[in-house]
Amino acid sequence: MGALPEIVLQKMNDLTNNSKLTLEDVGRLAGVSRSTVSRVMNNHPYVRENVRKRVQETVKSTGYHTNAAARALVTQRSWTLGVVLPRTVHSFFTDPYFPRLIQGIAQACNQLNYTLGLFLISSKEDEEKIFPRISRRGSLDGILFQSDQIGDQLIERLAGSNEPMVIIGRPFHDDNINYINIDNINSAFMAVDHLIKLGYKRIGAITGPSTTTVGIDRKEGYVKALKNGSRLIDESLIAEGDFTEAGGYKQMQKILAAKPDAIFSASDLMAVGAMRAVREAGLNIPRDIAFVGFDDLPLSTPVDPPLTTVHQSVFEFGFKAVEFLIDLIEDGSKPSRHIIMDTELIIRKSCGAYQKR
Amino acid sequence: MGALPEIVLQKMNDLTNNSKLTLEDVGRLAGVSRSTVSRVMNNHPYVRENVRKRVQETVKSTGYHTNAAARALVTQRSWTLGVVLPRTVHSFFTDPYFPRLIQGIAQACNQLNYTLGLFLISSKEDEEKIFPRISRRGSLDGILFQSDQIGDQLIERLAGSNEPMVIIGRPFHDDNINYINIDNINSAFMAVDHLIKLGYKRIGAITGPSTTTVGIDRKEGYVKALKNGSRLIDESLIAEGDFTEAGGYKQMQKILAAKPDAIFSASDLMAVGAMRAVREAGLNIPRDIAFVGFDDLPLSTPVDPPLTTVHQSVFEFGFKAVEFLIDLIEDGSKPSRHIIMDTELIIRKSCGAYQKR
DNA sequence: GTGAAAGCGCTAACAG
DNA sequence: CTGTTAGCGCTTTCAC
């Protein structure tokens, strides 16, 4: 430091404090041009080693950071990804699904040097206000959109803006849309088939909303499994839930009248509510009614008995979605793709598999 | 539309499709200069009404949106707020607190026209990678930081960068730092005092981590209430939890040996775990052991018996934090302030108040 | 009221 | 290897 004249030190101090340094300033302090500093900041080759060192030291001592807006303007890349959770997603703060998904997305963003913009839509007005912010060029490099209600207009509008976009879950119209999903139909099939093989005769279902593709697909898997096992579909054994605990409880009370001996629930959280209703009716799980759920996420309270369920890796789901989107951003010319993640049936006590043996 | 020559229509089509319109393009199409379009976009006065109309129509028909990066560069405002959740916040996806907080923050951002950048830090490496992104000028107008472990280095580094920042919760060193909080000491006091007034003699506590200010403050309220009621502090009745259900369960098992007749839990979620332990020990709530919790957030499963607890409005907490931050952004010269939100003791069945009467 | 011109801070040719 | 230069798309004086 002894080499620097006092006036430069003074300048450095000024600059450090108000922290409004530009490349030009740093260049001046390091005795190089703004281009060279830029090269150093962006790890370009072709900078002499001792110059690079000197610049790096100046950058460090001044606390200089690249101005993101200026960089974004010239590179046409914001390094920001938008995550949109539509307003019909009510269960945001009761079902661990969304927090877990966001964790996966956030971790991927961190690792891949993207910033994560979160858009929680809670009303029609929000939607209108937010739309320009997500579709405005220059602020987002791509969009992750949680699939929700079928015929979602926002999804169509966004798809029209031909920005890189990946839908999380199956969109209703999947023509020419990139999405990542699990095979809900076969996963549900697998779960219900397991109950059939265990010998249950009256297998009921608490489905998700029939206005969502998840709800539709998981129900389809249930129906398919029954048909495959030559069972009749009994509508009195089926009730439409809303992916909440309270919904599961309420729907189970309805189904109880039809005397089921097993239940497939389209989510663990609904299964918990349903089990509560069963217990209140004085019945035993799994002896009187067996249970299979869907999700296998850690709920805030342990379930008793432990729930047999379809495991999906929500964290990886979010992570992969980000990788998929970045891939799209880097090469937008690719034809649309669908990524299907694996699921697995985890057998625990609630299905009665252990008792039967 | 009949007035426009074919070549203009063609141009409009081109521009609409590749959607890379600039102010200049829109101006050309509307027959005005870029400045006028800018004025219209920003709702400036001094634009003739018919010109404004014409421009607005062109904007609409072309689907033009302002380029955020360019605007941010010139105005030095990104209209983006950063929310930082430090890595030691483990309970992100089991405790409803964080999702709820984020909901409040997101709603405020939507209403006040800000974009929300979410930074979930899960490792030391994340912290290093993220730090430049949050402190880099030009990308964030301000920061919301969830207070966590005492002596958090990130908080100190960020405070040093003198960007507008609001800490959610009490920071360890509160000198010259803006924060929003609830009065944890008095809230806990109120809860424990309630138990004292109900006549309980051996009141235990499951505290939060002693490395967090929430943990420390709520414990202090507990101690203060006991002293105020002329009780001795019995360390065997106190155990340090971690704000998880499993932690509450485990700590309760320890305290059980000391034969408490009431428990103050520093969070509802821990109370749920503790109640599970009590039930497993064959004891009745509230007859054998009464409970008071803290938070009053909707848990995924209803608590039985309903929990007497300190209510805090987490959604409003998040909302207010955003308003506070924006206030700071708009006038950075203000001296540091602290906002303290109200809490309220909600009496339900778990404390035995109803039985006693 | 409206347009021309300057410039926000950066990257990326293009020279040298 | 390094500096000069030309914009990226926008807002904002300053003239008229």
What is the pTM for the complete model shown?
0.92
Q: How far apart are CA B32 and CA B53, in angstroms?
A: 12
Which pLDDT does position B14 carry in this prediction? 45
B22 and A CB contact within 8 Å? no
> In this model, does residue B68 exceed pLDDT 90?
yes
A43 and B CB contact within 8 Å? no
Q: Do domains B6-74 and B184-312+345-351 have the same CATH topology?
A: no
Q: What are phi and psi of B12, to 5 degrees?
A: -60, -40
Q: Which of A78, A129, A245 sits opposite B69 (nearest CB)?
A: A78
What H or E segment, with its residue span, contains residue A119? strand A115-120
CB-to-strand D under 7 Å, chain A 54-93:
70, 73-74, 76
| pLDDT tens per residue across span A148-201 | 887 778 888 888 777 899 999 999 887 789 999 999 999 999 999 999 999 999
B333 and A CB contact within 8 Å? no
What is the percentage of chain A residues whose pLDDT exceeds 70? 92
Which chain B residues are closer than 8 Å to A68 by Cβ? 72, 78, 136-139
Which pLDDT does position B356 carry in this prediction? 56
- The tokens for B112 are 């006040």
Q: What is the mean pLDDT of residues A336-348?
A: 97
Max Cα-Cα span within chain B: 90
DSSP conformation class of A286: T
Q: Is A122 within 8 Å of B103 when comparing Cβ atoms? A: yes
DSSP H helical segments within chain A, as ranges? 6-18, 23-30, 34-41, 49-62, 68-75, 97-111, 124-135, 153-160, 184-197, 213-228, 245-256, 268-280, 314-330, 353-356
A161 CA vs C7 C1’ separation (Å)? 31
> In this model, does residue B222 exceed pLDDT 80?
yes
CATH topology for A6-74 is 434 Repressor (Amino-terminal Domain) (1.10.260)
Instruction: Report angle CA A143, A144, A149 to the nearest 5 degrees.
Output: 115
What is the percentage of chain B residues whose pLDDT exceeds 90? 74
Which pLDDT does position B89 carry in this prediction? 61
CATH of region B184-312+345-351, choose from 3.40.50.2300, 3.30.450.40, 3.40.50.12280, 3.40.718.10: 3.40.50.2300
Q: How far apart are CA B13 and CA A179, in angstroms?
A: 29
Which pLDDT does position A178 carry in this prediction? 95
B99 CA vs C1 C1’ separation (Å)? 49
Which chain B residues are closer than 8 Å to A90 by Cβ? none
Residue whose Cα is closest to the C1' of D7: A74
> In this model, does residue A72 exceed pLDDT 50?
yes
B22 CA vs C3 C1’ separation (Å)? 17
Q: How far apart are CA B259 and CA B227, in angstroms?
A: 20
Q: Which residues pair with A343 in a beta bridge?
A: A312
What average pLDDT is seen over chain A? 90
What average pLDDT is seen over chain B? 90
A333 and B CB contact within 8 Å? no
Q: What is the mean pLDDT of residues B277-284?
A: 97
Q: How far apart are CA B162 and CA B139, in angstroms?
A: 15
B46 CA vs D16 C1’ separation (Å)? 15
Q: What is the mean pLDDT of residues B111-119?
A: 94
Among B47-56, B94-103, B228-237, B238-247, the least confident range = B94-103
Question: Do B264 and B195 form a contact (C-beta atoms < 8 A)?
Answer: yes
In chain B, where are the structural domains located?
Answer: 6-74, 77-182+315-342, 184-312+345-351
Question: Do B137 and A65 form a contact (C-beta atoms < 8 A)?
Answer: yes
| A150 burial via Cβ count (<10 Å: 0-12, 13-18, 19+) | middle
Which pLDDT does position B230 carry in this prediction? 95
pLDDT confidence band for B4 (50 / 70 / 90): very low
Q: What are phi and psi of B262, to 5 degrees?
A: -160, 155
| pLDDT tens per residue across span B138-193 | 789 999 999 888 777 888 888 877 789 999 999 988 778 999 999 999 999 999 99
Q: Is A122 within 8 Å of B137 when comparing Cβ atoms? A: no
Establish whether the CB of B13 is closer than 7 Å to any nucleic acid atom in strand D: no
> In this model, does residue A7 exceed pLDDT 50?
no
pLDDT confidence band for B130 (50 / 70 / 90): confident
List the nucleotides on chain D closer than 7 A to a protein CB: 1-5, 7-13
Which chain B residues are closer than 8 Å to A78 by Cβ? 68-69
Q: What is the mean pLDDT of residues B106-116?
A: 94
B122 and A CB contact within 8 Å? yes
What is the nearest nucleotide to A50, using C1' and CA? D1
Q: What is the mean pLDDT of residues B114-128?
A: 90
Which pLDDT does position B33 carry in this prediction? 95
| pLDDT tens per residue across span A236-251 | 999 999 999 999 999 9
Residue whose Cα is closest to the C1' of D8: A74
A119 and B CB contact within 8 Å? yes
B4 and A CB contact within 8 Å? no
Q: Which of B93, B122, B302 sits opposite A99 (nearest CB)?
A: B93
Q: Is A120 within 8 Å of B110 when comparing Cβ atoms? A: yes
Identify which has the larger pLDDT, A252 or A134: A252
Among A243-257, A287-301, B1-15, B201-215, the least confident range = B1-15
> In this model, does residue B9 exceed pLDDT 50?
no
Instruction: List the one residue out of A300, A312, A314 whose CA is nearest residue B94.
Output: A300
Which chain A residues are closer than 8 Å to B80 by Cβ? 117
> In this model, does residue A322 exceed pLDDT 70?
yes
What's the CATH number for B77-182+315-342? 3.40.50.2300
pLDDT confidence band for B88 (50 / 70 / 90): low
Instruction: List the one residue out of A230, A181, A178 whose CA is nearest residue A201.
Output: A230
Compute CA distances A311 → A316, A349, A354, B62, B285, whole Å: 12, 15, 19, 46, 35
Which pLDDT does position A356 carry in this prediction? 56
**Range 210-249 of A in CB contact (< 8 A) with B:** 245
Establish whether the CB of B34 is closer than 7 Å to any nucleic acid atom in strand D: yes
> In this model, does residue B78 exceed pLDDT 50?
yes
Among A90-104, A253-267, B272-286, the least confident range = A90-104
Question: Do A177 and A118 form a contact (C-beta atoms < 8 A)?
Answer: no
Residue type, B235: E
Instruction: List the one residue out of B231, B206, B190 whose CA is nearest residue B344.
Output: B190
